Amino acid sequence: MYRHTDAETLASYAGLVTEAAAFLEGLRNGKPGGETLLEAAAAALVNWELSMLDANEDFTAGDVKIANGGRGVSQAKALWEQARAAAGPYLNQDQFAFRRIGL
């Protein structure tokens, strides 16, 4: 059972989920099907974005470095890359897009 604050936190992720879905929908190549693979790819993309926001990961800005392992980010990125590859038959992979990361 979620507490009120948990529901608020989940609601704050809605923008990231919507953006990830729109991003992948923009890459669709018109081939029918693949909805489950595209949903999994969108979830993996959001997971990667959120892992990059996690304060427990490595962070470098100029001469300042905060090191805590960074495994979570690399694992989340690998999951995104695998999900994107699985959804590949339904995506145009040659496009570039600027995206924001934040809640």
Domain assignment of residue 39, yes or no? yes
Alpha carbon 16 to chain centroid, angstroms: 8
* Contact predicate 31/90, CB 8 Å: yes
Q: Count of domains in the chain?
A: 1
Domain region containing 17: 4-90
Q: What is the pTM of this model?
A: 0.68
What percent of the chain lies above the pLDDT cut of 70?
64
| Higher per-residue pLDDT: 80 or 7 | 80
CA distances from 96 to 9, 21, 27, 46, 78 (A): 30, 16, 10, 18, 19
How far from each other are the two terminal CA atoms of the chain, in whole angstroms? 23
The verdict on residue 102 lying in a domain is no
Rounded to whole angstroms, how far apart are CA atoms 103 and 101? 7
Look at residue 20 and tell me if it is in a domain.
yes
Give the pLDDT mean for 19-42. Answer: 91
Report whether pLDDT(40) > 80.
yes
* Residue scoring higher pLDDT (33 or 15): 33
Q: What is the mean pLDDT of residues 78-84?
A: 92
